[in-house]
Amino acid sequence: MNDLLINYLSAANPSIIFAAVILCLLSFWSLFKNRGTVSDFFNGLYHRKQNHENLLATIQENQAAIKTIMENRIHDREQSFAIQKELTDAQKELAQSFFTISEKIDAMQAHTDKRFQESEQKNNKRIRAELKDKISRSYRYYHSIGKINDMELEALEDLIEEYEAADGQNSFVHSVVQKEMYTWEKVDKI
């Protein structure tokens, strides 16, 4: 197993390993930086689940209370009216409790969704800025030497594709970089 790993690592391109390590570090850094947002998201999920469990417990308690009332009452007319009144009141309370808890759950869901969207927008903006910076640095370097190899061209194309996937719409990237990168001299090594 160790020989297989050693052979694989010795055959792997150091640039790819370096890029993978950098991507892993950026991912961990991003998670660490946004740990509050991630924590809030999971806390929201936990609280919604807890509210759901409380609602189910309340429903079960109310159902048990209704069942006890029904089993323990003597079946005469006066007690029958009392049971009907208690049952109706319990149902009204249950409906009101369900409605109140449902409103709270909906409000919490809307709040969580809003925070998640805001967080996602911030992350997309940061990602676009980082990708734009990488594209600009690569462009300046290859523009200055006027040469590029196939692997670096493919890496630059991938960066532009990721930038566009993150809603990047920079005219410099589209009007200058994409047009010029195919005019550079192609070489085996730089």
Q: What is the pLDDT of residues 143-190, one digit of tens each?
A: 999 999 999 999 999 999 998 888 877 778 888 888 888 888 888 876
Residue 73 has pLDDT above 70, yes or no: no
Paired tokens of 42: 């999971």
Q: Are residues 48 and 24 in the same domain?
A: no
Residues 23 and 49 in one domain: no
Residues 184, 147: contact at Cβ < 8 Å? Answer: yes
Do 61 and 77 fall into the same domain? yes
**Same domain as 54, residue 138:** yes
Total of domains in the chain: 2
> Cα dist. 41→38, 55, 166 in Å?
5, 21, 22
If asked whether residues 27 and 52 sit together in one domain, one would say: no
Residues 129 and 39 grouped into a single domain: yes
> How many residues can be counted in the chain?
190
SS (H, E, C) 57-99: HHHHHHHHHHHHHHHHCCCCHHHHHHHHHHHHHHHHHHHHHHH
Residues whose CB falls within 8 Å of the CB of residue 166, separated by 6 or more in sequence, listed in order = 124, 127, 128, 131
- Do 169 and 125 lie in one domain? The reply is yes
Tell whether 82 and 19 lie within a shared domain: no
- Does the predicted TM-score (pTM) go above 0.75? no
CA-based nearest residue to 58, from 90, 19, 14? 90
Q: Are residues 144 and 168 in the same domain?
A: yes
139 contact partners, CB below 8 Å, separation of at least 6: 156, 176, 177, 180, 181
| Same domain as 97, residue 69 | yes
For residue 177, what are the domain limits?
Answer: 34-186
Residues 17 and 80 in one domain: no
Task: Give pLDDT tens digits for 124-151.
Answer: 888 888 989 999 999 999 999 999 999 9
Q: How far apart are CA 146 and CA 131, in angstroms?
A: 22
50 and 143: one domain? yes
Q: How far apart are CA 83 and CA 88, in angstroms?
A: 8
Any idea of the CA torsion for 128, 134, 137, 142, to the nearest 10 degrees? -120
Q: What is the mean pLDDT of residues 57-62?
A: 92
For position 56, what pLDDT does the model report?
A: 92
